[in-house]
Structure 1
């Protein structure tokens, strides 16, 4: 198909498609003449993925590029969920002076805490510990300087229970095979979208639960036991 048809079928303007190609997010079409190129269904799938990452998941162009570059090329024995999480890691910002010292201290606390959590993997804390350290610094700076790292304990328990429930719904046991024109294989694509699209679900349910608990306490209504909240 020509770029005009690709635009019509994908819903992306021609200018946007050309932007994706310039940024290296979308492979160029097969040249049929000096100013004409032919595109395939693989380009449609790639555009759908790019738009989902940008518009639904809220990733910027740089982050989308980082995700896609991390996926190319794939290996046949890759594990999709691990590969997807690795691809979505963001580089840590540079810190100096007091900010760096504060962050390093919090990072040491968080790393020590994670070492004691049964489900964590030793030597694999780095990206996650860094983000938790940033959150701990912000909480101490803006909420209460006395907050201890142990406040993470209930979140660690809840996260493992959530991962146990969620993991089976994400493709993780399929052999990855590269697709012509689109090296991002289907299992990894589904893992990325599954992880990213479920994060707003977790955040929304948490906020609703906080609202519901607060309103129940305020109104004097009974609090349901945790094990019954999902209707089990």
Structure 2
């Protein structure tokens, strides 16, 4: 049943001024005009607003990035592979523009160790180079040693994303699944990782106590004072 913008706001949870902004930016299709300054909106608008809200609030995407993603969703000629590339590029960190040769070489070596195709101009490569450059700048060159473990952990996660998309009943649902699986999947993974990290953080205290206990001046309870 068509509704006015106030009801659209109530049902979608998006404030009226924000809805009007999304309309101006082309993120939401225009409603059916009932008078020069009145329009009615359908369930399609409610659904699109909820999707945009998820991308902005949970995914942290910019309006420009959301526009790109929606363009991929609305393009009937766009393949799932290309749509996933568009969405992944939209959620990726901005290109740092780093020219650090060491970081580029570290990224290349990592990709080759994994047996992947080396794409130096891809958004993923430039994002990784930016991370490695920053790690070196703050004195954590050894961060590069974590990449292979991260790759092992990321593969089953990416397989879950693909399985979610492929389980869709139609191409439209699959395209939307790309957005949900990528944007919400990344947000969910960050939350789960934080939970695991919290569960394991007690090991930091144990390690600190172990280091303190290894000081040569400490007393060994089994051997008495030295």
- TM-score w.r.t. the length of structure 2 is 0.74
Q: Which residue of 2 aligns with 1:207?
A: 197
Q: Deviations over 1:99-138 (max 9, x none)?
A: x432x441233023212204x3454882222111111111
Structure with the greater relative contact order (CA < 8 A, sep ≥ 6): 1 or 2? 1
Question: In structure 1, the residue corresponding to 2:34 is in which secondary structure?
Answer: strand
Alpha-carbon distance in structure 2 between the residues aligned to 1:211 and 1:4: 47
Shift of 1:169: 6.3
Alpha-carbon distance in structure 2 between the residues aligned to 1:105 and 1:218: 33
Alpha-carbon distance in structure 1 between the residues aligned to 2:15 and 2:156: 43
1:131 maps to which of 127, 131, 138? 127
More helix by share: 2
Aligned length: 207
CA contact (8 A) 2:5 2:39 kept: yes
2:99 maps to which of 92, 101, 109? 101
Q: Which residue of 2 aligns with 1:111?
A: 108
CA contact (8 A) 2:106 2:144 kept: yes
Question: In structure 1, the residue corresponding to 2:108 is in which secondary structure?
Answer: helix
CA contact (8 A) 2:34 2:40 kept: yes
Superposition RMSD in Å: 3.1
CA contact (8 A) 2:61 2:91 kept: no
CA contact (8 A) 1:178 1:185 kept: yes
Q: Which residue of 1 aligns with 2:32?
A: 30
Structure 1 segments unaligned to the other structure (5+ residues): 221-232
CA contact (8 A) 2:107 2:128 kept: yes
Rg larger in 1 or in 2?
2
| Pair 1:31–1:192, CA change in 2 (3 A) | farther
CA contact (8 A) 1:174 1:187 kept: yes
Structure 2 segments unaligned to the other structure (5+ residues): 211-226
Question: In structure 2, the residue corresponding to 1:101 is in which secondary structure?
Answer: coil
Shift of 1:44: 0.3
Q: Which residue of 2 aligns with 1:42?
A: 44
2:91 maps to which of 88, 93, 101? 88
Q: Deviations over 1:115-172 (max 9, x none)?
A: 2204x3454882222111111111111123x5374442222222224445x3476332
